[in-house]
A and B are shown apart, each in its own frame.
Chain A
Amino acid sequence: MNPTAPARRFRLPAHWGVRTRIALVFHGVVLLSLSLVGYYGYVNAGAAYRGKALESIAGQTAEIAQAITFFLREVPRDLRSMSQFHALEQLLYWEELGMEEKTMDWKITVIDAFRSLVAAREEIHELCFLDREGRERIRVLRDPTTGQVQTATGAGLRNRRPNIDFQVALALDRNRTQVSPLTLAMEQGVPRQPLLPVIRFAQPVIGANEVRYGVVMVEILAQSFLDMVRRADAGGDHRYYLISATGDYFHHRDPERTWGHLRGLPGTFRTDLPAAFAALQRSEQGAAEVGALVVSHHRIQPDPAVPEQHWFVVGLVDQARVLTQLNSFGLVFFTILAAAMGLVLLATRLALNGVLNPLAAMTRQLEKLGRGEVTPEPVAYPYRDEIGRVLASTNHLMDTLGNLTRQADTIAAGDYSKRVRVLSADDLLGNAINNMTAVLDKNRQAHARRTWLAEGLGGLGRELAGDPSLEELASRASAFLCRRLEAGHGAFFVFDRDDATGKPLVLMGSYMFTERDTVATRYALGEGAVGQVAREKQPILLRNVTRAEGLVTTGTLSVPPLVIIAVPLLYQEILQGVLELAAFTPLDEVQREFLDQAAGMVAAALFATLQRDRIATLLAKSESATRMTEDRNRQLQEVNAAMEEQRQQLQQQTEELQQANAQMEEQQQQLQQQTEELQQTNAQMEEQQQLLEGQAHDLTANNAALRDSQAELSARARQLEEADRYKSDFLANMSHELRTPLNSIILISRMMALNEDGTLDPETVRRARVVHNSGNDLLRLINDILDLSKIESGRMELHPESFDTGELAAELQDLFAETARERALDFRVEDAFHGPVVGDRNKVVQVLRNLLANAFKFTPHGTVALRCETGDDPQRPLRIHVADTGIGIPPDKLELIFEAFRQVDSSISRRFGGTGLGLSISRELTRLLGGSLQVASQEGEGSTFTLCLPTGPERTAARPAPLPPAAPRPALPAGTPAILVIDDDPNFLETIAIINHRQGLRTLQARSGQEGLALAAAHRPAGIILDLGLPDMDGDALLARIKTDPGLKEIPVFVISSRDRNPALLEQGAIGVLQKPVTAEQIQGAENALLAAMDRPHGAMLIVEGAALRAELVADRARPGSRQVAARSAAEALALAAGDAFDLVLVDHEPPDMDCAEFCRKLLERQPDAKIIIYAAGEIGEERVAQLRRFTDSLIQQAPQARQRLLEDIERFLAATLAQTRQHDQPGSPPPRRDSLLAGKRLLVVDDDPRNLFVLSEALEQHGAEVLSALNGRKALELLQEEPVDLVFMDIMMPEMDGYETMTRIRAIESLKRLPVIALTAKALKDDRHKCLEAGADDYLAKPVDYELLINMARAWIGKPR
């Protein structure tokens, strides 16, 4: 280091002692570290205290905010379930259609759902549905004090159109929610007391066609989540607030300040703590120190879509409170620090003094030694510790140093031979120097010898270097070695491994070697010294050789050598050759060693040379071999390629074989299982067979007896029926025949009685009046008889209409006012019922007229009164009394008066006149009307007739009020026909049971399809009344099950369901369809039809002959008992059909005078229920088939088995029609509903399934649509390009061009791009259906097509703006 360079490192002043330095450093370090630790601890503790406060506040605010957010997110979900509630949609849908009953039904469901939601969620205050005008349609609210759920009605429903939430929500998209600000429930503009914080959520209700029906709005009591804040805020230093985005308090610890903004109080969070409020604005959540406060906040987003509307949960704590603890901690800490410092100072001072004093003394002594003074200075240090020992060693060191210096000088002066004096056995230094001298001497000699050896071997290596040939190697090696070893002779033999002569050692090189006859150039192993060496692989040394032959010849003389040495040349212990040397001096140790090593080197070189030679030979050989192989390979490759191809083929075949095998096994196993199962089944079958045979035997016997009695019975029944019919016919004819002459008699006698021209004398006039009166009496009698017989034969028809009882009463008052006046009787009419009634008004008037006429007739003086009132029989709520103060009826005659041609007293008829039929007709009519007629009378005081009538479906059947528990009905005798009702509505079941009981029928009730099937199989009812919407299976399917079950298919089925009338049901075999609500009469009618279906007489058949169809075809084989009428032309057939009813009409495809389709249409106009079979001689085209298919599914073309099929179809149709009585025959059944939902629309149905085509067209036409049809895609495309169409129904699986392709092509035509197309698909997988949409369909319908869905979908797509 440059001494002039200034010291860079800090140094203490040099004159300071150790004591000063140690004290200074020690004290400095201790003081500094203690201060650092203290300061750091203090700062950290402060941060920890603040952090803890922050964390606890932040955790709490986050938890509250999460809980509130979670709470708020739940509400829209509930709301969504309401706004998209199926029933609500249904309610609105039906309401729009104006279907009030349906609307009411669904409304009840919706209200139930609203109520249950409000009941389930305590925080809901109010849930309402507002229509698009803002009127509350449904409002369910919870009383905040009692917690009871109420449904508001009437005045409770407000108009909330101005409500901003309503207006916003109405405009929202589906699934979006409007959230109101958190506010207080208001009453007349001021907060309601006690304060009721609420928040409103509203969602639009959007129908299937994007129609906005209104808004569902829910008002939530915010108390539940405000309580969360309140609980957190309940105590402690921490304060929590819930504030609005503008800083208004939703929650403040001081209740007086909460809701200040709504209560007009000053002070918001923003004004109270502006800095904190500013901090809130910066982030969604976080914690910060604001001034002396620690503030944590968490933003709550009540409506994620409106970020500006938000609240904050804020937590506050004062820092000063947090830090008081910290300050007291600081004070204690620094006091302890100062005390510790004092103690350290004292202890250091004492310790340093004891150690440093003796050290100073020793330093002085060493300083002297440095100056060359070796005189030790005694130091007084009493302790034998480290310092003491250091002082003693210092003295001894000085002594030894002097001795050594002298001894070193001695050795430095002496040579190698001299040895130093060894001081002692331990004098290591002396001994070492002596040994070193000896070793140096020996090393010098050894080095000289090794140099010679190394030079020699190096020379040999150089000599052998390069790639010498064998001879060169031999001569070079022998020459070098001889020269080096100063030998006179050298011979080099190579061991020839492949030798065949037996003498493998060959002389290859020599040195100064003279050939002699006696010395061979080849030796065998063991021959001579050379051979011996080769065999033993050991060198041989011969000394003192004297033989003259071995003379070494020089240019000047020949001398025998002294020694001969033969050395084997071994490479890796393998003999390579032998080297023989002849020398004049014996070899010393170094030379021998040289020879040994040289022999190894030579052997190695020899081996390498030999190897090289051998490799060269082999290379030549292999090159020729390679050439041959290449040729062969080329041939082989060709063969391989061929094989490869074969193998690939084989592999493929194997794979296929494997696959085939697997399949075979699959099948094999299947077969085995089946065989096993079959065997088992067979065994069981045989057992059953045996059992059955026994039963069958018994049965046959029973059956025979049964058949006999049945035949007898039916013969009787036929006779009776005939007699009855004769009677009716007779009566009808007779009255008709009688009325014609009677008419003349009455007219003429009336003219005579009036005596207008005055030509008759008074006596004749009087007689004429008698004739006239008698004629009138006779006419009335005939009319009555006729009525009675009509009623009895069931031909009296009811024509229900709606009328008002007041109007009825007024009419009757007018009718009899004159009579009352004439007879001076008081006639009082009173209507206390005031209501609409549905029934046959004329019949009711007829009954009342009869009753009143009787009353007037039998009341000489007093009063006749008519009074309508509400009765107590729920089935017949209208009760009409006809009371008089007449002669009365004796009690024993009360029942008699209703019998035909009977009066209380035959004398009465003489006294009062009359036919005596009026009351019996009245009673029959009443029964027909579904009512009852009773009489109460006191002889001499008067009679009261009470007529009770049903008021029609409006009052009772819309939703039958729960019936009183079924009164135990007396059991009906076994054998009475039973009706099975399958319906899941218990009220309906009960209603039918009552009706049946009245009709004398048994009722079987089933609430599910399965139950129905079981009951039907067990009891074989006379008929089934079936509902379509059953809990376990669809009515369609059940009907199909019944109609395909051989045991059940004969049972007629009548469908009564609330679904729309679907003509396909009739196709499926139902005998009639009614739509609910139904009247009791309709039910009775249905049951009559069911009963009639079972025992209607055999069918009548009309055969329209033509080219192919002849009556003889069916004459002999048709159903026995059926009537056949043949017509030679269509016109003739139509004429026949006009008069006579036919169940089945067989038509030739080409009748002589009319088109077949035309004929069918006309025929069905006349006889809508007739079944048709069309028989064709030749082929019928596809289009034509579709056209005819509308009339029948039985198109028979002449073919070998055509006749057989014809007979089959006849049998089938007759069996079916005989089991049916058509809908139209039923009294009171409404005609099929034809409305105009689709009026004026042209719909195209593309389908090649004629059955489907027919059903769809029928259904759509029923709603007023014009339906075009096409049998495949190609035809549809042609049609679409020619004619405008509003909607297309497109089947997928069609010939010529399938639905996918057709739709793709339709979409490719510019004018048809927006045409609505609905695909009809039998596919059920979502993917498959999506394929329809991809191909261009707007929507799809699953096959088989649901009737209602079809119509709804057609309407929806036609109505949709495109």
Chain B
Amino acid sequence: MSVAVHDAPDRQRILVLGPVTGATETALLAALESAAPGAVEVSLFDAPVVPTRTVLALAALFDRNPAARLIVYQTTLAYYLNALGIPSRRHTWPPPSATPVPAVRALALGGSADSLDKFISIIERLPEAAVPVFLVQHVSENHPHLLDQLLRTRTPCRVEMPHHLTPVIPGTLYIAPPGHHMRVNSGLLYLTRDRKQDFARPSIGLLFESLAREYGDGLVAGLLCGLGQDGLAALPKIRAAGGLVLVERADECQATALVKQAAAAGEYDMLCSWRGIASLFAAAASPNALPDEVLIRTFLDGVHARYGYDYRQYAPGTLQRRTLRMMDTLGFPTFYAFQRALLAQPPLFERLFQELSIGVTNFFRHPRQLDWLRRELFPWLASFPLIRIWVAGCASGEDAYSLAILLDEAGLLHRSRIFATDINPVLLQQGSNGLYPATNLHAFRDHYRQSGGQGDHSRHLARQGSCLAMAPHLRERILFFSHSLANDGVFNEFQLILCRNVFIYFQRTLQEQVLALFARSLHQGGYLVLGARESLPPGTGQDLFGSVDQSLRVYRRR
């Protein structure tokens, strides 16, 4: 059970771990119900959001017992509850940046069989580096090695196949020449023809060991796939010296022996896709501590490979600003440190995910548009025996409830279904809760009138303490589901799709892709409604949709 009740001498403490759903919620409600009349302290550790009944139970607890205290660890929940008038204290876990990240002074990359393509791709993504980069590829001694020529055309950095005793210069890529071991000592490169190490010459291990000695905690080393075990022995030494070891995930490799052994030995700081390695390398090599758009793009590649969420088609400006903001809030001095933490810690990504989904909305937003829908479109909708409406990117559901209210007043709600979807499960749960701050009531009333609402708005919402609760007859017609416009497909057929203030965060290609999805999801002649400041992208968008009222952003499937 993830709900624990402690009777401390001075107060009763109710501790809740994990998301508040199912059995946890039942247990929590029971605990709140039977809470002692004295000082009660409720701590919600992990839940980013709580369901309606819990919200109401918490509100009731405060009504009954003003001495009660609520401690919340997730920012989203704290904002949500505070907005709903439930006083909570927000505690934060120690910030993840607490351990300072040593400055990067050198990068090293080694790879054996089957790694050449990834090797080149990683180097391609490097910006003009501020540190030296050392590269080892296992290659045959008998063939000319063209890696330096291959790379020269792909990177802004200087690429060198060094000679014996070449001094190390930052910003240069050094490639171990075939048939020679490459080592670094006191700023000089040493090339030797010692016997093979683990059947390899050049040896990854020898280079890594010498770099660990030379650069200590300033070294970031990446090991790509391959066979054999060259380099394995050096990994613990790098880590012992404080350096960072990145090992490629075996599941994306053909030749897995090397990385599998490295993973099994546990001598790594991060197991990541080569895209993740590329992203960290790019940030580590960059002379700028803060990300530019190119770095962000590489970073999004890494995020996609690590977490599966694909933000690569989102507007880069937004992503950059959001990332900077988050770095600033959490006190990460460099983009590299930020990435390092983010790729290693899923909760931090959760944070970024929340940061990236912008959930600004309110009731009866863009009232003129809603008024138009009510007057012009509802009579058309009425001719369908079953009315299906999709509110795509619904955030916390205000649009869906606004529509439901208008439909109800037009007498259509009982045969309508509103599918409200969003990518952010926290917002979806908030929407599904149907609870909103009572302070919104005034604005609600105004917009309601402007949208052409004539009825008694209090039919649709009931005041419960400091919250406004949406009436059950609205809630049962709205289905909240998680759906990613960027990744997921058609799931039903609709007469109307409302997608407001979502496109602004997408790049053009993604916009077109989503429009095609909408076109396939719409009934013949169905309508699409966009946000007040959006418009159809020319080209595909206008091929698929015709404009009905440009000023109101209403379009119809051709």
Is B483 a contact partner of A667 (Cβ separation < 8 A)?
no
B203 to chain A, nearest CB (A): 15
Contacts of A1248 in B (CB 8 A): 417, 492
Known: A1044-B519, A1322-B489. A1205 touches B380 (CB 8 A): yes
B543 beta carbon closer than 8 Å to chain A: yes
Contact B490 A1195 (CB under 8 A): no
Q: Which residues of B contact A1343 (CB under 8 A)?
A: 489-491
For chain A, residues 1260 to 1301, give those with C-beta under 8 angstroms from any C-beta of chain B. 1291-1295, 1298
Measured in the bound complex, the distance between the Cα atoms of B417 and A1292 in whole Å is 15
- Chain B residues, CB < 8 A from A1201: 379-380, 382-383
Task: Flag A1171-1193 by CB within 8 Å of B: 1 or 0 each.
Answer: 00000100111101100000001
Chain B residues with CB below 8 A from A1328, complex form: 482, 488
**How far is the CB of A721 from the nearest CB of chain B, in Å?**
33
A1251 to B, closest residue via Cβ = B493
Residue interface mask B178-216, A partner, CB < 8 A = 1: 000000000000000000000100000000000000000
Report yes or no: B483 in contact with A1208, Cβ–Cβ below 8 A: no
Asked whether B492 lies within 8 Å of A1293 as measured between CB atoms, the reply is yes
A666, B321: Cβ atoms under 8 Å?
A: yes
Partner of B382, one of A70, A1200, A1292: A1200
Q: A845 in the interface, Cβ–Cβ < 8 Å?
A: no
Which A-chain residue is minimally distant from B379 (CB atoms)?
A1200
Inter-chain CA distance A662–B419, complex, in Å, is: 29
Contact with B379, one of A678, A1184, A1199, A1250 (Cβ below 8 angstroms): A1199
User: Is there contact, CB below 8 Å, between B79 and A656?
Assistant: yes
Out of B82, B481, B484, name the residue touching A1293 (CB < 8 Å): B481
Q: Are B491 and A1249 in contact (CB under 8 A)?
A: yes
A1205 to B387 Cα, complex, angstroms:
14
- Which of A66, A1204, A1212, A1295 counts the most chain B CB atoms within 10 A? A1295
B541 → chain A closest CB, angstroms: 12
Contacts of B419 in A (CB 8 A): 1293
B38 within 8 A of A: no
State which of B82, B386, B484, B543 has its C-beta within 8 Å of the C-beta of A1046: B543
Chain A residues contacting B318 (CB-CB under 8 Å) are 666
Contact with B along A637-667 (1 / 0, CB 8 A): 0000000000010001001100000110011
Q: Write the nearest CB–CB distance from B134 to chain A, whole angstroms.
A: 27
* Per-position binary interface string of chain A over residues 1244-1259, scored 1 when its CB falls under 8 Å from any chain B CB and 0 otherwise: 0000111110000000
A70 to chain B, nearest CB (A): 7
Q: Closest A-chain residue to B82, C-beta based?
A: A652
Q: Which of B308, B384, B523 contacts A1326 (CB 8 A)?
A: B308
Question: Is A975 among interface residues, defined by CB-CB distance under 8 A?
Answer: no
- Please, what's the 1-or-0 string for B470-490, where 1 marks a CB less than 8 Å from any CB in chain A? 000000000101111001111
A1180 to B384, CA, bound (A): 9
State whether A1212 touches B524 (Cβ < 8 A).
Answer: yes
State whether the Cβ of B538 lies closer than 8 Å to any Cβ in chain A: yes
Q: Whole-angstrom distance between the alpha carbons of A514 and B417 in the complex?
A: 119
> How far is the CB of A1321 from the nearest CB of chain B, in Å?
8
Residue numbers in A under 8 Å from B491 (CB-CB): 1249, 1291-1293, 1322, 1343
Q: Say whether A793 faces chain B, with CB atoms less than 8 Å apart.
A: no
Q: Is the CB of B558 within 8 A of A1044?
A: yes
| Contact among B487, B544, B558 with A1323 in the assembled complex (CB-CB below 8 Å) | B487
Cβ-defined contact, A1040 with B379, below 8 A: no
A667 to B523 CA separation, bound complex (whole angstroms): 32
CA distance A151 to B543 in the complex (A): 54
| A1295 contact from B360, B417, B489, B544, Cβ within 8 A | B417
A1327: CB under 8 A from chain B? Answer: yes
Are B382 and A1197 touching (Cβ within 8 A)? yes
Chain A residue numbers with a CB within 8 Å of B379 are 1199-1201
A652 to B379, CA, bound (A): 45
Q: What chain A residues lie within 8 Å of B325 (beta carbons)?
A: 662
Q: Does A628 contact B (CB under 8 A)?
A: no
**Do A1324 and B484 touch (CB < 8 A)?**
yes
Instruction: Tell whether B358 is near chain A: CB-to-CB under 8 Å.
Output: yes
Contact of A1250 among B79, B83, B493 (CB under 8 A): B493
Which of A218-226, A372-380, A669-677 forms contacts with chain B? A669-677
A to B contact number (C-beta, < 8 Å): 130
Q: Taking A1044-B543, A1195-B385, A1199-B379 as contacts, is the C-beta distance between A1325 and B479 under 8 angstroms?
A: no
**Do A670 and B384 have beta carbons less than 8 Å apart?**
no
B384:A1324 contact, CB within 8 angstroms: no
The reply to whether the CB of A20 lies closer than 8 angstroms to some CB of chain B is no
**A1342 interfacial by beta-carbon distance below 8 Å:** yes
- Are the C-beta atoms of A670 and B385 separated by less than 8 Å? no
**Bound Cα distance A1212, B524 (Å):** 9
Q: A1294: nearest residue on chain B (CB-CB)?
A: B479
Q: How far is the CB of B369 from chain A (nearest CB, A)?
A: 17
Number of A residues, CB within 8 Å of B: 63
Tell me whether A671 and B533 are in contact in the complex, defined as CB-CB below 8 angstroms, given that A1044-B544, A1197-B385 are known contacts: yes
CA distance A1212 to B558 in the complex (A): 11
A 436-453 binary contact with B (CB < 8 Å = 1; else 0): 000000000000000000
Contact of B558 among A1046, A1197, A1208 (CB under 8 A): A1046
Whether A663 contacts B358 by the Cβ 8 Å rule is yes
Evaluate contact between A1322 and B490: CB separation under 8 angstroms. Answer: yes
Which B residues from 300 to 355 make CB contacts under 8 A with A? Answer: 308-309, 315, 317-318, 321, 325
Q: Which of A1179, A1196, A1291, A1327 contacts B308 (CB 8 A)?
A: A1327
Q: For B385, list chain A residues within 8 Å (CB).
A: 1176, 1179-1181, 1184-1185, 1195, 1197
**Across the two chains, which residue of chain A brings its CB closest to B501?**
A667
List B contacts of A1045 (CB < 8 A).
543
A1198 within 8 A of B: yes
Contact indicator A1197/B360 (Cβ below 8 Å): no
* Bound-complex Cα distance A1304 to B382 (A): 36
Q: For B308, what are the chain A residues with a Cβ–Cβ distance below 8 Å?
A: 1325-1327
Hey, which chain A residues are within 8 Å of B490, CB to CB?
A: 1322, 1343-1344
**B504 is an interface residue with CB less than 8 A from chain A:** yes
- Minimum CB–CB distance from B390 to chain A (whole Å) comes to 10
Q: Is the CB of A1344 within 8 A of B384?
A: no
- CB of B383 within 8 A of CB of A1197, answer yes
Chain A nearest CB, measured from B475 CB (Å): 12
How many angstroms between the C-alpha atoms of A667 and B525 in the bound complex? 31
Asked if A325 lies at the interface with its beta carbon under 8 angstroms from chain B, I say no
Least CB distance, B232 to chain A, in whole angstroms: 15
Considering only CB atoms, which chain A residue lies closest to B380 in the complex?
A1201
Inter-chain contact A1179/B415, CB cutoff 8 Å: yes
For the complex, is B227 an interface residue (Cβ under 8 Å from A)?
Answer: yes
Alpha-carbon distance between A1208 and B479 when the two chains are bound, in angstroms: 30
CA distance A1181 to B360 in the complex (A): 37
Q: Please name all residues of chain A whose beta carbon is closer than 8 Å to the beta carbon of B105 when the two chains form the complex.
A: none
B457 within 8 A of A: no
From residue A121, how far is it (CB to closest CB) to chain B in Å? 16
Q: Are B199 and A66 in contact (CB under 8 A)?
A: yes
In the assembled complex, A164 has its CB within 8 A of some CB on chain B: no
| A-chain residues with CB within 8 Å of residue B538 when the two chains form the complex | 681
Q: B386 is contacted by which of A667, A1185, A1324, A1342 (Cβ under 8 Å)? A: A1185
Q: Is the CB of B386 within 8 A of A1196?
A: no
User: Can you name the residue of chain A whose Cβ is closest to the Cβ of B494?
Assistant: A1249
What are some 27 contacts across the A-B interface (CB < 8 A)? A656-B83, A663-B360, A666-B318, A666-B358, A669-B317, A671-B533, A674-B535, A678-B535, A1040-B520, A1179-B385, A1181-B385, A1193-B523, A1195-B385, A1197-B384, A1201-B379, A1205-B380, A1212-B524, A1212-B525, A1249-B493, A1294-B479, A1322-B483, A1323-B488, A1324-B488, A1325-B309, A1342-B489, A1343-B491, A1344-B520
Supplied contacts A662-B321, A1295-B479, 8 more A-B pairs, CB within 8 Å? A648-B89, A670-B533, A674-B504, A1185-B386, A1248-B417, A1293-B491, A1298-B481, A1344-B490
Chain A interfacial positions (CB closer than 8 Å to B):
63, 66, 70, 648, 652, 655-656, 662-663, 666-667, 669-671, 674, 678, 681, 1040, 1044-1046, 1176, 1179-1182, 1184-1185, 1193, 1195-1202, 1204-1205, 1208-1209, 1212, 1248-1252, 1291-1295, 1298, 1322-1328, 1342-1344
